[in-house]
A and B are shown apart, each in its own frame.
Chain A
Amino acid sequence: MLLAAFIAAFLAAFFLAPLGLVIGRGFVYQDRVSFEWFQRIFTNEILREEFVNTLLLACAATGLSVLLGVPLALLRGRTRFRGQSLLGVLVLIPLILPPFVGALAIRQIFSQYGVLNMYLAHLGILDFRAAAPPDWLLEGGFWGVAILQTLHLFPIMYLNTSAALANIDPAYTQAARNLGAGPLRTFFRITLPLLRPGLFAGGTIVFIWAFTDIGTPLMLQYNRLIPVTIFNELKTIDYSGKVFALVFVLLSASVGLYVMGKFVFGRSIGAESSKASTAAETRPLGILGTLLAWVGFGSVVLIAILPHIGVVLIAVADEWTGTILPEAYTWRHLAAVFQDQATYRSILNSIKYAGVATAVDVVLGCVAAWLIVRSRIWGRGVLDSLAMLPLAVPGLILAAGYIILTVRGSLLESIGPLGNPFGILVIAYSVRRLPFMLRGVAAGLQQVPESLEEAARNLGSRPAGAALRITVPLIAANIIAAGVLTFSFAMLEVSDSLILAQRQVHFPITKMIYELFNAGTPQAVHMAAALGVYGMFLLGGTMALATLLLGRRLGAIFRA
């Protein structure tokens, strides 16, 4: 009970309290409670337009992620072909690069006079002399941002769909087929409705992520979005109520859409809860089918890792202006990351922040999961919802709350962005990633029979002892995998890092990359890319480790 109270208090202090502060601030105008700021927001066409843009962007990214992720998951889950496992791993590669780093490469490749158009001109398809070449990032880059977010996020959709697919009892589809339904009819009438909770789980993460992303739009310079406006206001420590009112609008929209989505799509269907009694029926593909599957998977993977390739090239390019590939290559920038005090320190800082945050999450996540799955204490449902809530609340909004929480003169000033943000970043990272940890551990707990623990207790062990000595070792793979993922996502966390780290000595990697983009020296862009390359290797390595440990159950972690 004390444990539950502790976790609840932690979440109340560092999740609910900052949210409450943010919400409260929006309702204050000239020291009075007022709707003034909201009135101004809703009567401002520019902000209204930004709001619509933000909504459309999230819809576009979610829609595109479904279009990419679901067919791939079906292909992998319902057919058998050579190299299937390899492709299953390759498709996760996009997750290892925060899209805001990839945006650098996207600019180099898809700009009006960028690599792609240079290549098309080289092939004779375009003629720069005859007409201005097409600008692939289009006006303002809405689609550039949507596509980049999609390429990063579709694996989450894929993982969720795969996991949901694995849980569908093949008896249902067999029954439908036996009753004369064709494959298409079976898919739309049986499989798709059963997939709905999985689609919702993945869709929610993708939607909220895209809805409140600041990194990608900032890098592609598509700034007509509410989150970017909030970020720009927060940068100046401008605590006018307007920015917090905007935060409230964003939060309400994101929570409102989540609830609505849950109501419409997420209702669990009676049949879904029954675990598959037999393995799903898979269809072997012939040579042509295998080839097509490879082309399908392969082209998606290739397009998705284009930004990664671009970032690596920028990191090793000596000079890259107006040519298809860099004119000369160098190791200088990759080495300089470790020679330059500021960049080197940012790596150490990130390891420190992410490491402690992961430790906090492992403890909190394990205890919370155990309480929720195993104990019978009162209010564990509330605890579960509370711990999962950070998924629905974007980093940007929490960061705004932490800013108020640590404002000068407050109790927590010393750990605020202007003091040493170690504490506040650790808290931010751990609160944001707690749901991953909780889901990962809970998934493991549900698969370990409680009778083992009961046996230990019968033999005289205390409940805590039994959990530690029996259950924890059995779910170690889950804990490690979720921990590893928590660590790497914390390493490459964007919104909190950008807002909460304001002194260069405390910059984590992501903030350093962002600062380098703005640094002005010609080599800074290359240095930023080099830091991004190290980030990719780190996240790639940890993802590989997590995949090895969890296999297909990896999807369980990315669920709402």
Chain B
Amino acid sequence: MKSPILWSCLLAVSLLLGACGGEDRSADTDTLVVLTPHNDAIQAEFARAFRAHYQATIGREVEIDWRPMGSREMLELLRNSYARTEAPGYDVVFGGGENVFMALAEAGLLVPADLDADTLAQIPARHAGQPFRDPQNRWIGSAVSGFGFLYRTDLLEMRGVAPPTKWEDLGAPAMYDMLALADPTQSGSVAAAYEMVILSAPTWEQGWAKLLSIMGNAKKFLDSASKSADAPRMGEAPVAMCIDFYGQTRAVANPDKLRFAVPSGQSAYSTDPVGVLKNAPGPAVAQEFVRFVLSPDAQALWALPKGHPKGPVEYELGRQPVRRDVYELYGKDFLPWTVNPYAAGEPGAGTDGGANMTVDPQYRLTISQVLGRLVKAAAIDNSAGLRAAKKRVLESNDPALLAEFARLPDNADTIEDLRAVGAILTDESRKGDADRILTDWQRFFRDKYASIVAP
């Protein structure tokens, strides 16, 4: 890299290419860089509505520069980017589960949203223990979701297996080799669903045993939430665990064969928040976007059908808004499967309805900091061993073997240990240690499964 020819050539080519690829941006168009795990349909509808809103209120054009990615990926990207520079050039984070936002807020990467009292009055700070917005408004929930399972009624009937109604049904012997699950380190909604399984048990150890038993029944672990939600439809596996609107939109498209259910009383409502990033290049546009997302008009977009005057134009989004008042304003026009999380008597209203389980948010945060990596080591990286061990446990029916199967690594078997490990895993300056913990866990589970299969 010393030669002057080389450098001048490099510079010339890059300048040339920079010029060719340069963006034409007119002076009266604002830009907003939005990191999002939301799908293309949500991006298209919110971009369209926000452009119209911006033109009407500010009188200028606005263009959203979407950066689609998984929510875990987004968290990593932001941590890495801000570690390297003060202003990486992102404006807004839109969607991805409150755990991601809590981590971002804790890392000091979010600034408070500038919201009026009316908006805040419509969004409770907490619902069934679950925070719906940050006390300092650094993040605010924008859509509400429950978690459950999507299944093929025809296949379950043919295989003589009863449809699941509880998380533990997914871990039952009859469900062996029937599940399509996803990697929680790649998707926030998948991670949230796994957390619900843990939270539905009285203790961490019991929750883990329940989750591992479910994971042992998995045919495969897919790398995104949508791939696992598509698995029943494509015939890859009869049952998939997923977020409510992935399940509902698919079930509605083929009600004869697909059905979605929320395990009664075993899932809490969780939000997909929105927040403004520190040192955003366009702070004013960013704040306007957040205000817009939380306005009644934008909130109605989540649940109204296509063709409704206030509804989406191209795609039905099929999600639950976070604002209370839009359920009163538009509730009667909402898509039929929309559940009002605030309705009286809603908690545990049955397999198709309410999902209220009361959650200790601190406990959930502790779990969420560790669970992804633990699942990766125990299941994703050791899937063959896990399946074989689970099979052996089912065949032997030996309680000692079952106990060994559920055994956790020493540094993760109590909630205090989890807290300590979580602190290391989320510390940017301790990447080497985090890597070693993960490697140790991989080895731990690998050896344990091997010893169960061939004692």
Contacts and interface: CB of A to CB of B under 8 A. Distances in A.
Contacts of A505: 65-66
A276 to B, nearest CB: 43
Nearest to A121: B158
Given A342-B40, A521-B315, A13 B10 contact: yes
Contacts of A427: 13, 17
Closest 4 CB pairs of A and B: A422-B21, A423-B17, A113-B235, A236-B76
A252 interface: no
B43 interface: yes
B73 A503 contact: no
A387 to B, nearest CB: 15
Given A12-B6, A321-B258, A519 B40 contact: yes
A519 B226 contact: yes
A120 to B, nearest CB: 13
B384 A240 contact: no
7 contacts: A17-B1, A128-B155, A128-B159, A320-B233, A408-B85, A521-B39, A522-B249
Contacts of A36: 432
Contacts of B133: none
Contacts of A408: 81, 84-85, 88
A9 B41 contact: no
B431 A322 contact: no
B254 A321 contact: yes
B442 interface: yes
Interface string A407-439: 011011011001011111011000000000000
Contacts, number: 211
A361 to B, nearest CB: 14
A516 B81 contact: no
A10 B246 CA distance: 47
Interface stretch (B216-224, B274-282, B331-339, B351-359): B216-224
A186 interface: no
Given A9-B3, A113-B235, A524 B65 contact: no
Interface stretch (A39-47, A73-81, A165-173, A488-496): A39-47
Contacts of A13: 6, 9-10, 13
Interface string B427-450: 000011001100100110010000
Nearest to B72: A236
Interface in B407-455: 431-432, 435-436, 439, 442-443, 446
Interface string A77-107: 0000000000000000000000000000001
A340 interface: yes
Interface residues of B, number: 85
B68 A504 contact: yes
Interface in A123-160: 128-129, 132, 135, 139-141
A113 B152 contact: yes
Q: Is the interface of B mostly helix, strand, loop or mixed?
A: helix
Contact of A321 (B17, B257, B380): B257
Given A129-B158, A521-B39, A341 B236 contact: no
A30 B154 contact: no
A321 B254 CA distance: 8
Given A112-B237, A238-B76, A524-B39, 20 more contacts: A20-B1, A45-B442, A46-B381, A107-B236, A108-B234, A113-B236, A321-B232, A322-B155, A342-B43, A356-B20, A408-B85, A411-B11, A415-B21, A418-B89, A423-B18, A423-B21, A503-B66, A519-B40, A520-B225, A520-B229
Contacts of B159: 128-129, 132
Contacts of B236: 107, 111-114
Nearest to B155: A113
B257 A236 contact: no
A518 interface: yes
A249 to B, nearest CB: 16
A342 B66 CA distance: 10
Given A107-B234, A505-B65, A518 B224 contact: yes
A114 B234 contact: yes
B21, B160, B223: residue with the most chain A Cβ atoms closer than 10 Å:
B21
A12 B2 CA distance: 11
B234 A409 contact: no
A45 B247 CA distance: 37
A135 to B, nearest CB: 7
A341 B13 CA distance: 30
Contacts of B230: 525
Contact of B442 (A46, A140, A418, A515): A46
B14 A412 contact: yes
A321 B435 CA distance: 41
Contact of B253 (A6, A20, A319, A415): A319
Contact of A503 (B18, B65, B225, B435): B65
B250 interface: yes
Contact of A518 (B10, B65, B227): B227
A223 B21 CA distance: 34
A338 interface: no
Contacts of B89: 418
B14 A415 contact: yes
Interface string B5-25: 110011101100110111100
Contacts of A132: 159, 177
Nearest to B3: A9
B316 to A, nearest CB: 9
A333 interface: no
A223 B85 CA distance: 32
B299 interface: no
B226 A524 contact: yes
Interface string A291-304: 00000000000000
A29 interface: yes
B174 to A, nearest CB: 11
B266 interface: no
Interface in A9-62: 9-10, 12-14, 17, 20, 29-30, 36, 40, 44-46
Nearest to B183: A223
A375 B318 CA distance: 66
B80 A519 contact: no
B424 to A, nearest CB: 15
A6 B249 CA distance: 56
Contact of B160 (A117, A129, A515, A519): A129
A468 to B, nearest CB: 23
A316 B230 CA distance: 17
Interface in B379-401: 380-384, 387
A108 to B, nearest CB: 5
B14 A522 contact: no
A5 B5 contact: yes
A242 interface: yes
Interface string B239-283: 000000010011001100110000000000000000000000000
A237 B76 contact: yes
Contacts of B221: 221, 223
Interface in B319-378: none
B39 A44 contact: no
B230 to A, nearest CB: 6
Nearest to A218: B223
Nearest to B236: A111
B67 interface: yes
A124 to B, nearest CB: 15
A135 B219 contact: yes
A267 interface: no
Contact of B446 (A17, A46, A135, A140): A46
Contacts of A516: 40
Interface string A527-556: 000000000000000000000000000000
Contacts of B14: 411-412, 415, 423
Contacts of A141: 220
Contacts of A40: 435-436, 439
A118 interface: yes
A503 B253 contact: no
Nearest to B160: A129
A321 B233 contact: yes
A108 B235 contact: yes
